[in-house]
Amino acid sequence: MAVTGVPRATAVAAREVAAPARLARSALTRRALVGPDADRWFADRSAAADLAVRHVPLDGLTGWHTDPRTGDLAHDSGRFFAVRGIEVTVPDQEVSHWNQPIIHQPEVGVLGILVREFGGVPHLLMQAKVEPGNVNGVQLSPTVQATRSNYTGVHRGRSVPYLSHFLDVPGERVLVDVRHSEQGAWFYRKRNRNVVVEVDEDLPVLDGFRWFTLGEVHQMLARDNAVNMDARTVLACLPFAGEGIAAALAGDGGGRGDGFRAALARSCEPGAGSAHTTGELLRWISEIRTRVDLRTAPRPLAGLSDWRHHPDRVSHRTGAFFDVVGVAVHAPDREVAHWAQPMIRPCGLGLAAFLVTRIGGVLHALVHARAEAGCADVVELAPTVQCTPANYRHLPARARPRYLDAVLGARPERVRLAVTQSEEGGRFYHARTRHVVVEVDAPDGAETPRHRWVALHQFVDLLRHSHYVNIQARSLVACLYGLAVR
């Protein structure tokens, strides 16, 4: 946007225009200009992590109570979160009616990353953090991840380091500030603030923190369960310009030798082509949101017809989907050293997969407009396939989600990404999702009334707003960014 006549606005606009190119420098820098070696630092942090988790009965969670009338699980303070029941109706959908437990967490938390330039290269202050639900101790996390209860002191713990940098910030230092949804199948309309703030001053690097280049973070994204969900959603909101990337790839032979990476780099360029204009995508989403009559109604957790209550868990009568379980945590290094809480434990490894293709030389991903119980606005754009494949293993092909077989049966040389990432370890126990990107030819006919091809620069446009791109798709976008320069 051309901004004239208002010096401050002109300066802000110039900063906004320059940001993607500056971040591209960071993405192309494979080693931080300050601090210890990344691998050694991460290994040290993993060794030092000290957190013990044991399963406890749901009615024995210290600080929590079961409502005698509804069976709902809530914290004694009334804060943090609660597990309640919900009944969902989506007419004209394959499964059009169901009930389930769901987490209510109305507080908007902060997922914040601090950025600072060293030697002209932006660095991200990341944290090695352990969470009770993680399959492996520590994962790379944002500078700050805190619920309002955390930072308003409800839990009476130590204060959250670096939090003040994300409160009352001058607008021109903010690179990203947008509230995004989290898992719509497990959270009822949960939103967190994804925020990136730039600082100029020297900051103490506390124990457990390190400055990373975007290039280093991207390398970590290629490893299983190394970068946590809270970091991935913020990384998806950090656009870096394709031009610098494309030039660098051309310089090292990537632009010519590797058609996929060149198409991916072009897809990041704001002016690159697309199969549909962004206006068309918005109108398509509006039309679906008008047509799909998603209705939800609160239900007592104890009264869900499809769910069974056991002392140690609440489970679906088929054993599928997920369990609600209780854990007691001992974490001497955390703000609070002891606590108990309910968690969601999914049954089986999830799958989040994009089919991608080149259209006019620009890489596009096939998104699915998906309605979930917790969606605040009917549908969000999800991966081409998002499901737990084990639930469908014994079903005939026609009962399986569209494109599931195309993903599972892809020839190895067409698989551009295959990595397992963890869902948020503060609410989900051992929840992992296989992230897969498969390149396909011949996009004609791939679109359905609910599927559209979207270029990466269009994700950048959409991710400036809430309600458009779901957490699984954002996680895949972050991983795709990682592929561009790896």
Region binding a second copy by CB under 8 A among candidate stretches 315-323, 349-357, 407-415, 460-468: 460-468
CA–CA separation, 255 vs 245, rounded Å? 9
Question: Binding pattern to a second copy, positions 130-159, x when CB under 8 A?
Answer: ------------------x-----------
# residues contacting a second copy (CB under 8 A): 53
Q: Which residues pair with 110 in a beta bridge?
A: 146, 193
Tell me which H or E stretch contains 195: strand 191-198
For residue 287, give the DSSP letter. Answer: H
Question: Binding pattern to a second copy, positions 357-396, x when CB under 8 A?
Answer: --xxxx-------------xx-------------------
409 binding a second copy? (CB under 8 A): no
What residues numbered 8-67 form the site for a second copy, per CB under 8 A? 9, 12-13, 16
328 binding a second copy? (CB under 8 A): no
Give the C-alpha distances (Å, rounded to integers) separating 10 from 4, 158, 420, 436: 6, 41, 43, 41
Region binding a second copy by CB under 8 A among candidate stretches 61-69, 70-78, 85-93, 289-297: 289-297
Region binding a second copy by CB under 8 A among candidate stretches 32-40, 43-51, 216-224, 281-289: 281-289
Region binding a second copy by CB under 8 A among candidate stretches 58-66, 173-181, 344-352, 380-388: 173-181
**Taking the CB of residue 294, how many other CB atoms lie within 10 A of it?**
17
Q: Are strands 97-104 and 187-188 parallel, antiparallel or unpaired?
A: parallel
Beta-carbon-side half-sphere exposure of residue 316 (alpha carbons within 13 Å): 15
**Which two three-digit tokens encode residue 472?**
């699984």
Select from 469, 258, 233 the least CA-distant residue to 368. Answer: 469
171 binding a second copy? (CB under 8 A): yes
CA–CA separation, 67 vs 9, rounded Å? 53
Rounded to 5 degrees, what angle do the CA atoms 174, 475, 464 make? 35
Select from 134, 123, 131 the least CA-distant residue to 210. Answer: 123
What residues numbered 330-359 form the site for a second copy, per CB under 8 A? 359
Q: Are strands 432-439 and 350-359 parallel, antiparallel or unpaired?
A: parallel
**Which two three-digit tokens encode residue 262?**
């060149």
Region binding a second copy by CB under 8 A among candidate stretches 127-135, 290-298, 326-334, 410-418: 290-298
Q: Which of 78, 204, 253, 279 binds a second copy (CB under 8 A)?
A: 279
447 binding a second copy? (CB under 8 A): no
**Smallest distance from a second copy to CB 216, Å:** 26
**Which two three-digit tokens encode residue 345?**
């434990």
CA–CA separation, 411 vs 265, rounded Å? 23
259 binding a second copy? (CB under 8 A): no
**Smallest distance from a second copy to CB 388, Å:** 30
Sites of contact with a second copy (CB under 8 A): 1-6, 9, 12-13, 16, 106-108, 110, 148, 171-172, 174, 176-179, 193, 195, 271-280, 282-284, 286-287, 289-290, 293, 295, 359-362, 376-377, 464-467
